[in-house]
Amino acid sequence: IAPELLAQLIARIDDGTLSSKTAKTLFDALWSAGASGNVDTLIESLNLAQLSDDGALTQIIDDLIAANPKQFDELRGGKEKMLGFFVGQVMKATQGKANPQQVNQIIRDKL
């Protein structure tokens, strides 16, 4: 892999475009294909960009809270394990593309 591509990959991790999971997928694609060109183009063509749209994430979280009111009440009551439950459900709903730190913050803001 060309150093320029690796630098672009690292920059996309740093700016939050890629999660560590999607970065590994992109690295594998770069490695196996001997790809050259633009990392951003590959991210788009492989649909690897991390979901960080507050509105979309908030809607997913609101739907999960409505579907799981008991678990949300437990979280409000101090059962921190439930935070992991909700983050996991958001990750499942977004096929692992949600920004977990952002999801955590949105959920905490709803408490």
Tell me the residue range of the domain where 31 lies.
Answer: 3-45
Identify whether residues 38 and 63 lie together within a single domain: no
pTM as predicted? 0.74
Indicate which CATH number applies to the domain containing 82.
1.10.10.410
The arithmetic mean of pLDDT across residues 56-70, rounded, is 96
Identify whether residues 64 and 92 lie together within a single domain: yes
The arithmetic mean of pLDDT across residues 3-32, rounded, is 88
Identify whether residues 11 and 58 lie together within a single domain: no
Number of structural domains, the chain? 2
Would you state the pLDDT for residue 35?
62
| pLDDT tens-digit readout, 92-101 | 999 888 988 8
Q: Is 47 exposed, middle or buried (0-12, 13-18, 19+ CB in 10 A)?
A: exposed
Identify whether residues 59 and 106 lie together within a single domain: yes
Identify whether residues 91 and 62 lie together within a single domain: yes
Would you state the pLDDT for residue 37?
66
Tokens of 78: 């101090």
Identify whether residues 82 and 105 lie together within a single domain: yes
